[in-house]
């Protein structure tokens, strides 16, 4: 039962209860943030720090984090606001609301404890939690931090309907670095298939070998071998012409040495 402690070993069912995500989507969801289980269970401290970017400083904060998340649509109902109005307000600097954890479509979540604190306070107060430095960064700092061209970050952020996970606090948007890294990895060019490699090999042009290219001792045995191979290839190609000689497999200068040796 909630709240969990920081060292609670959470099962997939526990995380379903804590996060409001379905049980089947918890594991692939956490993989986006490079969070792995420990013997099939997830230490909650790992979830707090690598998913939310928060680490409890005392027992009160531990209880807040262990109380779980709440969907933004449910928060809007508690505040008596349409969902669109709440989302617009959250993007306004100086708004009075707790941070929003936007993990994707229909995954807009807030800390339940902060929402309850705000509702109970006559001054709309709630306890703010200090974020872990470097866990989430503004868009302007992502390329330099991840050491990638700015164009790759721009491409990821171009689709406004499919943005990486982000935290919206006091109207400012910060993208969770681990999820941006996951997007970068998934957007890299796929390796060439074996069929494509074979097609490329058949289209590779053989460099023409000329007498001038084999001059000099520096070319040595390799150059002589290439010259003989090119000459033999040229001889075989000349045998593909039409006429009586072509029918016998002979060329203008008679049968090849290999044909004579085989008795043909």
Tens digits of residue pLDDT in 142-187:
999 999 999 999 999 999 999 999 999 999 999 999 999 999 998 8
Which residues does 43 contact at the CB level (< 8 Å), separation at least 6? 7, 8, 9, 10
Query: Model pTM?
Result: 0.71
Q: Decide if 50 contacts 33 (C-beta within 8 A).
A: yes
> Does position 103 have pLDDT exceeding 90, yes or no?
yes
> Does position 16 have pLDDT exceeding 70, yes or no?
yes
pLDDT for position 228 = 54
pLDDT for position 232 = 53
Q: Decide if 100 contacts 74 (C-beta within 8 A).
A: no
pLDDT for position 201 = 43
> Does position 6 have pLDDT exceeding 50, yes or no?
yes
Task: Encode pLDDT of 209-256 as tens digits.
Answer: 444 444 444 444 444 545 554 555 444 444 444 444 444 444 434 444
CB atoms within 10 A of CB 135: 19
Average pLDDT, the chain: 81
Band (113; pLDDT cuts 50, 70, 90):
very high
Alpha-carbon distances of 155 from 1, 23, 105, 147, 180, rounded to whole Å: 42, 31, 19, 15, 11
CA dihedral of 69, 70, 72, 77, whole degrees rounded to 10: -160
pLDDT for position 106 = 83
Band (262; pLDDT cuts 50, 70, 90):
very low
pLDDT for position 246 = 42
pLDDT for position 105 = 84
From 105-109, 110-114, 119-123, 217-221, the region with the lowest mean pLDDT: 217-221
Q: What percent of the chain has pLDDT over 90?
A: 68
pLDDT for position 224 = 52
Q: Is residue 111 within a helix (H) or strand (E), and if so which, with residue range?
A: strand 108-111
* CA quadruple 129, 135, 138, 141: dihedral sign: positive
Band (264; pLDDT cuts 50, 70, 90):
very low
């Amino acid at each position: 039962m909630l709240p969990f402690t920081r060292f609670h070993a959470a099962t997939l069912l526990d995380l379903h209860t804590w996060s409001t995500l379905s049980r089947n989507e918890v594991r692939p969801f956490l993989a986006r943030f490079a969070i792995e289980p420990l013997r099939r269970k997830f230490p909650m401290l790992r979830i707090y720090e690598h998913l939310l970017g928060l680490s409890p400083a005392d027992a009160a904060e531990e209880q807040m984090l262990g109380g779980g998340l709440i969907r933004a649509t449910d928060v809007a109902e508690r505040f008596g606001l349409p969902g669109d109005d709440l989302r617009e307000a959250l993007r306004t600097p100086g708004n009075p609301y707790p941070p929003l954890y936007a993990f994707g479509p229909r995954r807009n979540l807030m800390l339940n404890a902060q929402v309850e604190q705000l509702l109970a306070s006559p001054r709309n107060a709630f306890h703010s939690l200090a974020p872990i430095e470097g866990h989430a960064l503004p868009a302007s700092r992502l390329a330099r931090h991840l050491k990638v061209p700015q164009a790759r970050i721009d491409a990821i952020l171009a689709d406004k309907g499919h943005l990486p996970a982000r935290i919206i606090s006091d109207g400012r948007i910060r993208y969770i670095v681990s999820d941006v890294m996951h997007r970068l990895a998934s957007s890299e060019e796929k390796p060439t298939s074996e069929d494509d490699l074979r097609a490329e090999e058949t289209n590779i042009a053989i460099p023409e070998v000329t007498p001038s290219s084999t001059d000099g001792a520096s070319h040595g045995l390799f150059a002589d071998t290439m010259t003989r191979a090119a000459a033999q290839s040229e001889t075989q190609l000349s045998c593909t012409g039409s006429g009586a000689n072509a029918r016998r497999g002979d060329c203008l200068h008679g049968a090849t040495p290999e044909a004579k040796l085989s008795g043909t």
